[in-house]
Structure 1
């Protein structure tokens, strides 16, 4: 898949969409579609105008990426006999073809030097088919893209949204560990920073509970992430990511 990095290019060059429109004659609607990944293609003539107007190289505008997938999670009932929680993690492409895996995680909450720490630890996973296994190996072999981070983020977001833990605040820490995950030789641990549930609303203090969630901006800065859509009101979050 070819990705048009128009937003990043304009930010780098300090140029607005209106300025680019005025310099190239390309309609703002067409430029907006390209910038938001909604365009079905780009003509050579249009590409040439953009390159000249921005004084950019071809590889600054176009990037070869993998296929775009939307990741989301579905939480199953908590195991009453243990601290484990089951999640179904799904990847869906634009053709609505889905691949999913079932993961089991353990959740622990402890206090270290007055700091509240939530630790989410990988336990096991299940696959529905051989195709799912091949796709999964292809996804998780992308070590440079840190593809485990968006998976970790989605689970952490859902857990904090649905399981109220007293004492959480912006100084709290969410640790996501993938010890024992068979597709990796290394031990993977991710720290997920917290942020207010709504950046436009001040935090409300109520019985040692702060209204916080994993920080969306932290995730948006990672490579291969195209978009993050979270709806705190209903506790739902999904991530668009390019998969080679």
Structure 2
């Protein structure tokens, strides 16, 4: 699915919808729909105006999302948890490894991974 990256570009450049609309000669409703990713499509003329005004390429302006969500889990440590683990009597194995169940000792955060939004907590 295609989506606009206009919000990120405009926010990064400190631009408002009103300013871009008036200076790039793009209708405010069309620009607002693209900014909020509510647009069902865009005219080439509008895209060209945005690319010229924002000084970006089409690939900077439009992205593609896959229809699946990918989740990852990463450990979330704090000093208390580390101290707790260090004080435990964990059993050493003959191969010199320590065996334990991480979820018993470490908190994990679920993270949604997308092309543009890597690492946001869920």
TM-score (norm 2): 0.58
Counterpart position of 2:54? 54
* Higher RCO (CA-CA < 8 Å; seq separation 6+): 2
Give the ranges of 4+ consecutive aligned residues of structure 1 lying more than 4 Å apart after TM superposition: none
Counterpart position of 1:2? 2
Q: In the aligned structure 2, how far is the partner of 1:60 from the partner of 1:224? A: 13
When residues 178 and 45 of structure 1 are mapped into structure 2, their CA distance, relative to the original with a 3 A threshold, is: farther
When residues 178 and 43 of structure 1 are mapped into structure 2, their CA distance, relative to the original with a 3 A threshold, is: farther
Counterpart position of 1:190? 108
The offset of 1:55, in angstroms, is 0.9
Q: In the aligned structure 1, how far is the partner of 2:30 from the partner of 2:102? A: 43
The offset of 1:29, in angstroms, is 1.3
Based on CA coordinates, which of the two structures has the bigger radius of gyration? 2
Gaps in structure 1 of 5+ consecutive residues: 68-138, 150-171, 180-188, 193-218, 227-238, 240-244
The offset of 1:178, in angstroms, is 8.9
Which deviations, in whole Å up to 9, do the C-alpha atoms of 1:27-82 show, x marking residues without a partner? 21111111111110111110000011111122211111113xxxxxxxxxxxxxxx
Gaps in structure 2 of 5+ consecutive residues: 74-79, 82-100
Q: In the aligned structure 1, how far is the partner of 2:28 from the partner of 2:56? A: 19
After TM superposition, the structure 1 = structure 2 runs for residues 1-244 of structure 1, keeping only pairs within 5 Å, are: 1-67=1-67, 139=68, 142=70, 147-148=71-72, 190-191=108-109, 223=114
Q: In the aligned structure 2, how far is the partner of 1:59 from the partner of 1:46? A: 15
Q: How many residues align?
A: 91
When residues 178 and 52 of structure 1 are mapped into structure 2, their CA distance, relative to the original with a 3 A threshold, is: farther
Normalized per residue, the structure richer in helix is 2
TM-score (norm 1): 0.31
Q: In the aligned structure 2, how far is the partner of 1:37 from the partner of 1:61? A: 12
